[in-house]
């Protein structure tokens, strides 16, 4: 139920910001409670531009609390709320109050994953369990086929996730560094094969783009995210469930030498972290 509510929340929250932005703009045009409407526009624009920046100018990570957006949103909230208090009219400040509360919910509730450190399957210095995936041609492939060389397994949510695509792009930029270390780069998602095939064509660098059909591997490894897809994306062919963003690096024998189980979907490791982990292993 918790994840289902998250799925609905993240689809409605940006839309609510757009609605309040337009509505407050109309009230401002007709000079209805000017200061309160300016506050409302500041808050709603902060929410809108945050999500626009993620989708239009994809970044692989953000701060856990994006300080500039947060300051901007609470500036607008303060302006609108001050007007409500001084004029004893709460109704004009409802957009600012609603969106500021929504922003706090987004940061403190939606963005975080609980209990990831309780994963008993993925542990440092243990052997990564064998699992089977599908290629973009729907052939089965075993994780054991990547033994005899270091491997980076990156579990990503799907092409619908702009942070995931940005993360893949920056890893692709480190292709030569990974190739020099003889690394198998394996990207794993439960998304439909056609989306993984598009990525494989885009990044024709010898990377492996594999499909975890029905989230069997995510379930096996304890990284399943029930109802982790924003409501509405199912219309594009995605399943409601997905995987939690996860990075596992194994050595030539399949032993885990690095793992990242992020507790915030916007906070992800940089490629240099992977390279440092590999170099540490190679020089040990």
Question: What average pLDDT does the segment 194-206 reach?
Answer: 94
- Phi, psi of 75, rounded to the nearest 5 degrees: -65, -50
User: Which residue did the predictor score with more confidence, 31 or 216?
Assistant: 216
Q: Nearest to residue 153, comparing CAs of 130, 125, 120?
A: 130
Residue 79: pLDDT band (50, 70, 90) is very high
CATH 3.40.30.10 residue window(s) in the chain: 116-282
CA distance 92 to 85: 11
**Tens of pLDDT, residues 112-145:** 999 898 999 999 999 999 999 999 999 999 999 9
Prediction pTM value = 0.93
Q: Is the pLDDT of residue 83 over 90?
A: no
Tens digit of pLDDT for each residue in 248-267? 999 999 999 999 999 999 99
Q: Which CATH superfamily is domain 116-282 in?
A: Glutaredoxin (3.40.30.10)
């Amino acid at each position: 139920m918790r994840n289902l509510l998250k799925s609905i929340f993240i689809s409605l929250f940006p839309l609510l910001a757009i609605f309040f932005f337009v509505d407050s703009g109309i009230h401002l045009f007709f000079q209805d409670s000017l200061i309160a409407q300016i506050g409302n526009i500041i808050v709603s624009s902060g929410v809108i531009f945050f999500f626009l920046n993620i989708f239009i100018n994809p970044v692989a990570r953000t701060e856990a609390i994006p300080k500039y957006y947060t300051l901007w949103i609470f500036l607008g909230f303060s302006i609108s709320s001050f007007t409500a208090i001084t004029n004893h009219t709460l109704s004009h400040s409802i957009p600012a109050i609603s969106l500021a509360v929504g922003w706090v919910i987004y940061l403190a509730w939606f963005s975080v994953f609980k209990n990831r450190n309780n994963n008993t399957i993925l542990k440092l210095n243990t052997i990564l369990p064998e699992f089977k995936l599908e290629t973009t041609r729907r052939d089965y492939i075993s994780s054991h086929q990547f033994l005899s060389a270091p491997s980076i397994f990156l579990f990503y949510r799907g092409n619908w996730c702009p942070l995931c695509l940005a993360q893949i792009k920056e890893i692709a930029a480190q292709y030569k560094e990974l190739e020099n270390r003889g690394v198998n780069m394996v990207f794993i998602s439960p998304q439909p094969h056609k989306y993984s095939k598009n990525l494989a064509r885009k990044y024709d660098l010898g990377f492996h783009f594999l499909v975890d059909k029905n989230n069997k591997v995510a379930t096996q490894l304890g990284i399943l995210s029930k109802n982790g897809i924003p409501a509405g994306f199912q219309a594009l062919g995605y399943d409601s469930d997905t995987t939690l963003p996860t990075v596992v690096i194994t050595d030539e024998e399949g032993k885990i030498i690095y793992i990242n189980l992020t507790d915030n979907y916007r906070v992800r490791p940089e490629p240099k972290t992977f390279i440092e982990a590999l170099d540490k292993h190679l020089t040990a």
